[in-house]
A = this chain, B = another copy of it.
Amino acid sequence: MSEVRQKAELAGKAAAALGSLTTDKKNEALLSAAKALVENSEAIIAANREDLQRGRENGTSESLLDRLALNQDRIAGIAEGLRQIAELPDPVGDVLETIDRPNGLHIVKQRVPLGVIGIIYEARPNVTVDAVGLCLKTGNAVVLRGGSSALSSNRKIVEIIHEALATTAIPQDAVQLIEDPNRSSVDEMLKLNGLLDVVIPRGGSSLIQNVVQNATVPVIETGAGICHTYLDATADPEMAAAISLNAKVQRPSVCNAMETLLVHQDFAGQHLADLAERFKDAKVELRGCDATRNILPWAKQATDEDYATEYNDYILNIKVVSNLDEALAHIASFGTKHSECIVTADGQNAARFQQEVDAAAVYHNASTRFTDGFEFGFGAEIGISTQKLHARGPMGLPALTSTKYIIHGNGQIRQ
């Protein structure tokens, strides 16, 4: 039997036991794992050094090496993340609905774990621990397939977690790491219907698209965001500047950063030149439509391809629109249904924008950068779902659960 199938089966057996554990037992295990990771920092850093060494030999970029690198501080932060997950309320067992039927049946809809969750991710060892914490807290077993260039780190981390679990109520088999570095092990995971209840990809768009295109198991798609901010005619200029600058430059590399600024022609005429200076000062390259370039002749020409690009960088498209309808139409054409914002003093326009824009998060007078499980107060985040099934937008712990109907009868039969 292949490594993938064998480990998924072991995870499945562990999942059956995990479902009935109390919250306290699960929290004890998370805290025990957190403690073990800190105590074994040196061993983790040594393993991580092997990965970094191999990465440098293979010419991995500095930014990727930085995401791979672990040190005492980072490990402490990762362990602290586990402790925070332990603090959060446990959604498992929550009663979502009770139904009493005329025939006397009493139906209880209850949250239960999903079962076995596959996580496919890049060379970021912090995701290993984060995924373990989120899955175990919600009573799920987890099958991890991290980027092969973090294999030494992941192996050591999972070894330490396994040791920590040995003295807790959570079976060690609830955490499985796929060590096969070949792409075929990912492909196999994606077809494990009946063994994996869901696969969640975490990473860049090529990783996510590979999962979406090839999985036969259910997937929660996360990721891509071409987000817009629309400055309406009545937008307060200072608020408009603050929100749009924040949406672009506070962290350009993330999915909820703005890629295109839509500007009402009246606002543009009065304020776009000033606003553009502030983007320039922030080192943002501007690409504009014809009307934008009438005001900012130094800006590059924006093409439809630009409007369809997630830059994740210090580049911004600007398009002047004649009214709200044109802004809505642009977002409908180029948006990825992630996060969209209107800045306006006009309540009716705000209401229409928030009603008509089809996206996970639609803002009035606030930065799109808030689309995040922590910012929404969930206390944790598995990712930001960009699909409409199961979960949409930032996903907290409940997104890692399913439901079950428990029906109490006294002999009812169907007529």
Contacts and interface: CB of A to CB of B under 8 A. Distances in A.
Chain A contact residues (Cβ within 8 angstroms of B): what range? 35 or more
A365 B402 contact: no
- Protomer copies: 2
A90 to B, nearest CB: 15
Given A377-B101, A389-B198, A362 B413 contact: no
B358 A407 contact: no
Interface in A379-415: 387-390, 392-394, 402-414
A405 B393 contact: yes
B356 A16 contact: yes
Interface stretch (A172-180, A213-221, A295-303): A213-221
Interface stretch (A128-136, A239-247, A276-284): A239-247
A216 to B, nearest CB: 5
A359 interface: yes
Contact of A363 (B356, B371, B409): B409
Contact of A360 (B239, B370, B389, B405): B405
Nearest to A412: B366
Nearest to A193: B212
Contact of A389 (B213, B239, B402, B405): B402
B414 A367 contact: yes
A364 interface: yes
B414 A369 contact: yes
A414 B364 contact: no
Nearest to A240: B411
B19 A354 contact: no
B365 A410 contact: yes
A207 interface: no
A107 B376 contact: yes
A307 B83 CA distance: 45
B105 A362 contact: no
Contacts of A387: 197, 218
Contacts of A166: none
A22 interface: no
Contacts of A47: none
A391 B367 CA distance: 32
Contacts of A406: 354, 362, 364
A219 B220 CA distance: 11
B218 A407 contact: no
B404 A392 contact: yes
A359 B411 contact: no
A95 interface: no
A146 interface: no
A198 B219 CA distance: 12
Interface of A: 16, 19-20, 99, 101, 105, 107, 112, 114-115, 193, 197-198, 212-214, 216, 218-221, 236, 239, 242-243, 245-246, 250, 332, 354-356, 358-367, 369-371, 375-377, 387-390, 392-394, 402-414
5 contacts: A19-B356, A114-B388, A245-B413, A365-B412, A366-B409
Given A16-B332, A361-B405, 12 more contacts: A99-B376, A101-B375, A105-B366, A214-B216, A218-B218, A236-B411, A246-B414, A359-B404, A361-B407, A365-B408, A366-B410, A392-B403
